[in-house]
Structure 1
C-alpha cells in the first residue's frame, strides 16, 4: 500500500474512532466478570491497595495479597474474607527482586496462575532534592517502578501463553505533571506511566490482544502518605472515589484512568500553554503539603 492510501486509511480510522467514542457516551459499556479470577495486589495492606482488594472480594475473585506490613495485610485479608473471598497473604518487600521472584513461584505452585496483576505498592518522600537521602531515592525507584518489572516478568509468561490477563499499573497524576518537592517521586511515576504505555504497545505488536492493561493516575489521595495536601483548583480525593474509578476502568478495559476524569483535559492544555502562563497557573493553584526543604526562604 502506498503512502497516500495509508494516509487515507488513517483518516478514515480517525473519523471512525471519534464517532465510536461519541456513541459510547450514550451506550452503556459492557463490564467483564472477574469472578474466580486470581488477582494479585501488591501494597494491599493500606490505602488504595486495601480498598481495591475489598472491591475484588465483593466480586468473588480469588485474592493474593502482598505487602511488607504483616499487620496491615492480615487486616485486609480479614475484611476480604468477611466479604466471602478466598484470600492468600504473603509478606513481601517489593524492593527486593529475588524476594518477588521466589514468592511468585510459590504463588504459581500453590495457588495457580495469576490472571489480574495490580502493581500498586508505592512509597513517597516529600522533600527538596538536596534534603532527600540517596537511599530514599533508591527506595522510591525500587518500589514505584522496578518492582513493576519484576512482578510483570514473573506472571506475564502464562498470560502470554493463554493470551489472557490484565496488568494494572497504579501511577499518579505526578507521572504526567510535576510538583516541587516530589522530584524523585514524580520521576518514578513518569517511569511507571512509561512502563504502562510501552508494555501496552509491546503486547499489541506481539498480537497479544487478550492481555489488557490499565494505568491509574489520580491527583492527591487522602491516604496519609502525603501530609496536609491542599490545592485551590481541585479537591484531595478520598480512597473510595479513586478505587471506584479504578474498578470501573478495569472492568471496562480502560487503558488510562484519570481521577478526576477532567484531569486529562488539564494535561492537554498544559502542553499548549506557554511556560510563563503555566507558571502563573501553578501559583494560582497553590499546591501545598508538608515537605522537608533545606533552603526554604
Structure 2
C-alpha cells in the first residue's frame, strides 16, 4: 500500500514537471514569435516610408460627416464627393449645411444629402440613423468631425460650457458609433474617422477642458479596434468603463480587433492648428516650420489617410513622431521642448 502511494506521488510530480516544461516552451515560442513579428512590422514600416501604401477606392461608399456647415467638415464633404462617394452632410446649422450639400450637387448631381441634427443628443442621432438608412442606405464611412473649442482659462469655464464641450466633442462620438457601427458590421465593411487634435496628445494653456475631451477621443480609437478582435456583443456594454479609464478612441479599437471584422478600419487624426475660425488668436513662434494649416489641405490629408487605412496621423505629419520620441525622455525635457516651439492659443471670447 505504501509503495503504491509513493508511486502515485512520483507520477503526479512527473506530470507536474512535464506541464511546467510545456508551459515554459509555450511561452518561449510566443516570445520568439513576438520578436519575429516585431522585426517584420518594423521592416514593413520602413519599407512604406519609401513605397507609399496603396489607396483604396471610395466610389461605392456612403460617407457621413458631422460638422459640414463650415471648415474641415465642409472641405471633407466636397472632397469625398470628388472621390465619387455619396456624402451625407450633418450639422446643427441647417442653412450652412444645406449650402454645402447644394454646392456638391451643383457639381455632382444627387451625391449629397443634408440632415440637420444635434449630434450631442442620443435620441436625435438614433432618429437621424433611421432616416439615413431608409432614404440613403447603410453608412460605410463615418467621420466624427463636429466639435467646439472655447479658448479661455480653466477658471473662466462654467459648468454648462464644460458639459457642452464633452457632449459634442466626446459623447457625440459614442452616439454616432452606437447608431452607425452595427450597419458596418452587418456588411463587414466600414471606416470610422475620429477627429482628435494635437491638443489630445499634449496639454495646452487656455484649452484645459478641450484638451481633456480630445484625450478622451484618442482613447476611444484603440479600444474599438480590439473590440473587433474579441467580441461581437453590443458597443454599449463597456461605455462607462472605457470612458473613465482609457477614453474613447483607444477603447473602441481594443474591442473590435479579434472578432473577424477584417474590413472595419479606424483612423484617428491629430491636426495642429487649422484655420477654421475656432482658434481666433493662435500663437505660433515658428510659422515657417509650423504654419496655420488650411481646411482644404487638412481634408485632403484626412481622405488620403482613410484611403490608406492608416491607424493614426498628425497634421503636419512629423508632430506625432516627435511627441513619441520626446515622451521617452524625462517629462521636463518634453515640456521644455514644447515651450521652445511656443505653440498655443490666447484666451478670447467665443
TM-score w.r.t. the length of structure 2 is 0.80
Residues 251-277 of structure 1 show CA distances to partners (whole Å, capped at 9, x for unaligned) of 110110111110122211331232333
For 2:158 and 2:184, locate their aligned partners in 1 and report how far apart those are by CA, in whole Å.
38
Greater helix proportion: 2
**Bigger shift: residues 278-287 or 8-17:** 278-287
* Contact 2:281/2:348, CA 8 A, preserved across alignment: no
1:222 to 275, 284, 296: 275
2:190 to 139, 157, 165: 165
Q: Secondary structure at the match of 1:109?
A: helix
Extract unaligned runs of 5+ from structure 1: none
Counterpart mapping for 1:109-258 below 5 A: 109-202=134-227, 203-233=256-286, 234-258=290-314
Question: Offset of 1:60 from its aligned partner?
Answer: 1.2
Extract unaligned runs of 5+ from structure 2: 1-24, 228-255
- The residue that corresponds to 2:329 in the other structure is 273
- The residue that corresponds to 1:87 in the other structure is 112
Structure having the higher Rg: 2
TM-score w.r.t. the length of structure 1 is 0.94
Residues 196-255 of structure 1 show CA distances to partners (whole Å, capped at 9, x for unaligned) of 111112111222121111111110111110112122242221112211110110011011
For 1:177 and 1:232, locate their aligned partners in 2 and report how far apart those are by CA, in whole Å.
17
- The residue that corresponds to 1:27 in the other structure is 51
For 2:107 and 2:201, locate their aligned partners in 1 and report how far apart those are by CA, in whole Å.
36
CA 157–269 in structure 1, closer or farther in 2 if over 3 Å, else same? same
Question: Offset of 1:123 from its aligned partner?
Answer: 0.6
**Bigger shift: residues 81-90 or 9-18:** 81-90
